[in-house]
Structure 1
Amino acid sequence: MALNLSRSALRRLRGRHYGTLAPVTRTEDMKVLTLGNKIKVVALDNINTSSSIGQVSFYIKAGSRYETPYQQGVTHYLRATALNHAGPFSGFKLTKSIDLAGGNLSVQTTREHTIYTVEGPVYEMADFTKYLGAILTKPKYDTWYRESCEWRVIEDLAKYKVNNDQVAFEELHRAAYRYNLGNSVYCPESMVGSVNSAMLTYFLVDHFRGEDITVVGSGIEQGELEKFVEPLETLDEVYEEIMDLLEDPRGRTSFDYSGSEYAIAVPEREEVDIVDMEDIFKIPHLPAKYYGGELRIKNTSPDATFIFAKQGVSYNNERDLLASGILQMILGTGISMKYGSGGGSHKLSSAVCQATDRKCSATGININYSDSGLFGYAVRGTGYEMRAAVEAANKVFKETLSDIKPHPLVIS
């Protein structure tokens, strides 16, 4: 339906009108503080007079790279069941209480972290953090709770399988790393319905520990955030109580078959020996090792995605990280303008568009993790044009890495 706005009303708007510039926010040096429960807290109080919205995120070293071969898909289930039931709060209570207070709660998993984020009015952050604490420290994975959320896992897999880009991205990691970083963030189809409560609880006990949790706040004072986080009791602090509820010790990364038939205490990270690959329970503690390889996935889609990558750098190497980021900008990061073709704006996209009559696009990729990384390029387009597109992209990639000109370096 067209908007019926009187022309006379528009004529009353005389003179030039400008948007209002947002006030400059307060910026302070961020301080990382370790609390008594070993949780690290860092906050940036950038609240200004016209905004009172804050955000708190719990970053936990519990991504898919920490899954053992017996735990494939556990982190996907954690993401799907996170907002279902926790401690005294039902899933309905969790979501509705935050919604009514003007907040938003979300959960996402990466290969290295499980991230719980809540954002909303700063004056409601005390209650928001209370709900987050219940989700982290008092989750319930009874069969009826878990099964009621499996539809989310199935839906995620259905969307994933029809997305060529996501499939190529996951298979890239499987070819490059085999294990840990090679684990997918999606649950394997063979494990749907097989991830049980014991597997989820064991994974939580192993990885939801104080030293593995970092709380990041934005728009909230450091002291306030510390006050919210200090009372949280992490799972390793109630370890004995949790272990009484567990029956099946299989799947624990810290389980020692040579000892008691019951699971032993979780060891410190530095106490884990780097052993041969036959000890699968210690695989998550091994550093990522780049292997390389080739994988081809066939489907009925007329479109195709091609990714070429070599070993990159970790984000702990700041100097090389900056260099690889600049190099990615020189190669190009795809189309940056809505409805744009990308031609003429970046090296990769220009070469690929010219070689395929704009039927394909390309972008440089730079993926960084704590102990490894991937660097290369990705090409997407119609299948019958992929050969010409890949040849053009590969030529530009080699030329760029062998000879970097001053002009594109300054622009990037």
Structure 2
Amino acid sequence: MASTLTKTPLLRSISSRGYAQLAPIGGISNYELKSTTLPNKLVLVSAENESPLARVSVIFRAGSRFESVDNLGAAHVVRTAAGLSTRNASQFAIIRNLQQVGASLTATSDRETIAYTLEGTRQAVEKVLPFLSEVATEQVFKPWEIAELADRLKLDLAVRPLQLRAVDLLHKAAFRTGLGNSQFIPKFQIGKISSETLQHFVSSTFTSGRAAVIGLGIDNSKLTQFAQGLNLDSSAGISSVNPYKGGEVRSDKGGEFAFVALAGEGAALTNTKEALATAVLQNVLSAGPQVKWSSNDNGVVPRAIGNTDGYSVRGINASYSDTGLVGVLLAAPAKSAGKIVEGAVKALKSGNISDADVNRAKNLLKTNLLLELESGSSAVQSYGTQAVLTGAVRSPADVVSAVDSVTTADVRNALQKAARKLTIASVGNLSEVPYADQL
């Protein structure tokens, strides 16, 4: 989920003199990460990647899992409200100043975090850093501006693909509350979340001990000065403990296709060994075709399903601070959905994983991690999530080295853990989709 205040298209034609070899737009990949914790417990991560672009992100543990029955959807509204008037700047001033220097400010959120990321040239980012501070920490939520967000919230709900809805329901069935809260505001809550409710949610979650500041391509001293100047309370805030429960949710929408998410308990980010094994397991189950326009998938789930036309499968893995989910997402024609779901469940419960499957999956995972390293935006997001949820940061290059230590036994153990109690969520035409007790 993302809300972009202003985004300038990247010019594809760039003219420069050939006197020196310039760093690539994403900078170098073997940079050193500097991580410190300020006295107020705010985590600060910086790196000089020699990129002409700078990126600064302020991230909080303030996702939808921290909502209660009374404020369901608050995280969605807070994200959507990014860029509205703040204590010291109007909405017009924020957008105008960002556009004036050619920078962009984006708000993203998931079930555990909300992040505000500023991107632009180094000079541009330095000029508009105060506006990042305003948007991230000085919200006022004026009632008339919040009321105008209703149409945007309705649009977000209307354009949700059924695949995303299936994963949303998967969390609901697996955790019920907390992590089971949707990333989207319920329809019945639109227009009912007041400014006071939003202020209370922010004051309970936007605290220094629940925050991290990440900077790439910006001087460490300037980033430290920026982080120290953030107006953040030092209270502990609210907590959310959500053990995995498992279950089933069905949402019959009709149509020609069925979308089914199957998963079991995964691993927490704080358990590095299990988290890596689960990430490898995701690619073992199904990583999708690796050749453009191809339909071949060497994952264990497609092999178990066999020769059935017209379906798609992808491995899913969601690791949170204390637990996770791992499994597959299926999209199939309604008439053949039963056979496909049964084949996927059989693969998850069989535990039939070979050394070749694990080696292939490890190579796929390492490739994805290194590609993430080449993208400054993805790297900032990854570092921010690690910093705010675990208090420590490891570069993708370090994680790649750790992936090699994952054994076939580790992956089999992760699969056995997931298969003990499967969660099933399905959306679409469910006429042929079996119930959980039939599998």
Paired residue for 1:397? 348
Find the residue that maps to 1:82 and give its secondary structure.
coil
| 1:184 maps to which of 179, 182, 185 | 182
Q: Pairwise mapping of residues 11-410 of structure 1 onto structure 2 (< 5 A)?
A: 22=24, 25=28, 27-47=30-50, 51-160=51-160, 163-234=161-232, 236=233, 268=236, 285-341=239-295, 343-352=296-305, 354-357=306-309, 359-399=310-350, 401=351, 403-410=352-359
In structure 2, C-alpha distance between the alignment counterparts of 1:34 and 1:319, rounded to whole Å: 24
1:177 Cα shift? 0.5
In the alignment, is the contact (CA less than 8 A) between 2:302 and 2:313 conserved in 1?
yes
Q: Which residue identity is paired with 1:39?
A: L
Aligned residues with identical type, % of pairs: 28
Query: Could you say what secondary structure the match of 2:153 adopts?
Result: helix
* Number of the residue aligned with 1:281: none
In the alignment, the residues of structure 1 paired with residue 268 and residue 31 of structure 2 have an alpha-carbon distance, to the nearest angstrom, of 27
Alpha-carbon displacement from aligned partner over 1:28-68 (angstroms, at most 9, x marks no partner): 43222223554221111101xxx410111111011001111
TM-fit CA distance, 1:397: 2.5
What's the TM-score once normalised by structure 2's chain length?
0.73
1:194 partner SS: coil
Distance 1:350 1:94, change over 3 A: farther
| One-letter amino acid matched to 2:157 | L
Cα distance per residue 1:1-23 (max 9 Å; x no partner) = xxxxxxxxxxxxxxxxxxx9949
The answer to whether the Cα contact below 8 Å between 2:105 and 2:119 also exists between their aligned partners in 1 is yes
The answer to whether the 8 A contact 1:27-1:44 is kept is no
CA–CA distance in structure 1, aligned partners of residues 115 and 278 of structure 2: 26
Q: Give the partner amino acid of 1:319.
A: K
Cα distance, 1:302 vs structure 2: 1.4
**C-alpha deviations, 1:166-205, integer Å up to 9, x for none?**
1111111111111110111100111011000000000111
Contact 1:37–1:233 (Cα < 8 Å) also in 2 = no
Structure 1 stretch displaced more, 124-133 or 209-218: 124-133
1:336–1:153 Cα change, 3 Å: farther
The answer to whether the 8 Å contact 1:37/1:232 transfers is: no
Sort the Cα spacing of 1:332 and 1:361 in 2 relative to 1 into closer, same or farther, 3 A.
same
Aligned residues: 339
Unmatched 5+ residue regions in structure 1? Answer: 1-19, 238-265, 270-283
Could you tell me which amino acid in structure 2 is paired with residue 317 of structure 1? N
More relative contact order, 1 or 2 (CA 8 Å, 6+ apart): 2
Alpha-carbon offset, residue 351 of structure 1: 4.3
Aligned CA-pair RMSD:
2.1
Paired residue type of 1:113:
T
After superposition, the Cα gap between the structure-2 partners of 1:329 and 1:87, relative to the gap in structure 1 and judged at 3 Å, is same
Residue in structure 2 matched with residue 279 of structure 1 by the alignment:
none
What is the deviation of 1:363?
Answer: 1.8
Structure 2 runs not aligned, ≥5 long: 1-21, 362-439
Higher mean alpha-carbon deviation, 376-385 vs 200-209, is at 376-385
More off after superposition, 90-99 vs 163-172: 90-99
Superposition deviation, residue 152 in structure 1 = 1.1
Larger radius of gyration: 1
Query: Aligned with 1:285: secondary structure?
Result: coil
**Shift of residue 136 of structure 1?**
2.2
Give the whole-Å Cα distance in 1 for the aligned partners of 2:190 and 2:172: 19
